[in-house]
Amino acid sequence: MGHFDDLTAYDYVKRDDTPDAQNVGWLSSLFPYPKGNVEPPLLAKLHALAVTQPVNVCRGFEDCEYCLPSQREGRPLAKWRGESRELGSAEIWVPGENGALYAAPNLVIHYIEKHNYLPPPEFLAALERFDLNAQKNLPHAALIQDVSKIRRQAAPLQKSIARLVSRISKQEPGPLASSNLESGCTETFQPDPDLQGKLETYKGPINRAPDFYLNSNWTVYLEGVRACWNIARLRAPHRDDLMLIKVDPPLYGRGYGLAQPEISLILVATPHMSRSLFPVKQWPVVVYVARLVSPPELLRDTLERADYEYLTQAILYPTREEIPVGRKWATTPSETAP
């Protein structure tokens, strides 16, 4: 699931008939989020909407990035009048004043209940005014889906997956099968007094073997294999295990709407906070990729929320040989520029 700042324009599942909406509650472990209390009647409305008016229902599920595996007691549920729906595979849409619409993942219920997330006041006000009996004439009525029908269609696939999982569970686990699931980051953060010196060293060509490799198929602008060098460990207000790396070839910055043609310094971090890159205990590892907003010469070992921006996801591999066959080496930005 992607990360989007609250009240930015929604484009996660955008079709021709999708009305304009604003994002709410698309949280990511890469960024801090506002905390506070939500009144029980408003939370009850969210449960009702998740059960009775689901939008953009998917066949797969997203897990909470903040919960440790030991804290998960089955998939979180929305409950309303004797019915329940599993969270993590659909959205909740709430109409506001003057034609406003707010789109949230239905996991927003779990974020509020378990992680104290506080949605923006505009969303809460819209939720307070919303009439749960309003099933027709909603601006997003065409998007509300019949969950039971989708679940029936998905049943054969789910049975196949269940059989596969059952077979795998009977196999002997590998040496790393359960590592790094509970411990998260086990190395203590130490500020780097020579951060700027390291950045100066990494400006030119690097005369040593890469520390690992990055590959992504999430976006064309990060497609292909890249060599990576670990430069430093940085921290943010809510976590201290962001890794600053240099990639070669660089990313195509203008593909992300940026003025800079090349991005060679990026941040990576594990999505689930129960895992970490310090150290990596299980390869390959899925990571979030972010860019630095400020120039490198202004970089400090402690970042603020405005200092970095989410780009996409990727996978890190320890060696070039372990990357799946067929993945091509990334091209330079000038070669991929449209």
Tens of pLDDT, residue by residue over 63-117, are 888 887 666 677 899 999 999 999 999 999 999 988 899 999 999 999 999 999 9
**What is the Cα–Cα distance from 159 to 141, expressed in whole angstroms?**
31
| pLDDT at site 183 | 41
| pLDDT at site 220 | 62
**What is the Cα–Cα distance from 130 to 271, expressed in whole angstroms?**
33
Kindly list the distances between the CA atom of residue 186 and the CA atoms of 49, 79, 100, 275, in Å, as whole numbers in the listed order: 40, 37, 45, 10
Burial-class residue 47 by CB neighbours within 10 Å (0-12, 13-18, 19+).
buried
| pLDDT at site 75 | 85
| pLDDT at site 128 | 94
Of the candidates 81, 62, 84, 82, which has an alpha carbon nearest to the alpha carbon of residue 72? Answer: 62
User: For the packed helices 121-129 and 40-52, what is the interaxial angle rounded to 10 degrees?
Assistant: 70
User: Under a CB-based contact definition with an 8 Å cutoff, are residues 276 and 286 in contact?
Assistant: no
- The answer to pTM > 0.85 is no
User: Under a CB-based contact definition with an 8 Å cutoff, are residues 32 and 116 in contact?
Assistant: no
**290-196-319-207 Cα dihedral, nearest 10 degrees:** 140
Residues of the chain scoring pLDDT < 70? 1, 69-72, 134-137, 139, 145-185, 218-221, 255-256, 332-338
Cis check for the bond before 324: say yes or no (omega within 30 of 0): no
The structure tokens listed for 338 are: 């449209």
pLDDT digits (tens, 9 = 90+) for 207-240: 899 999 999 876 666 778 999 999 999 999 889 9
- Residues 61-94 as b/e (b if ≥16 CB within 10 A, e otherwise) read eeebbbbeeeeeeeebebebeeeebbbbbbbbbb
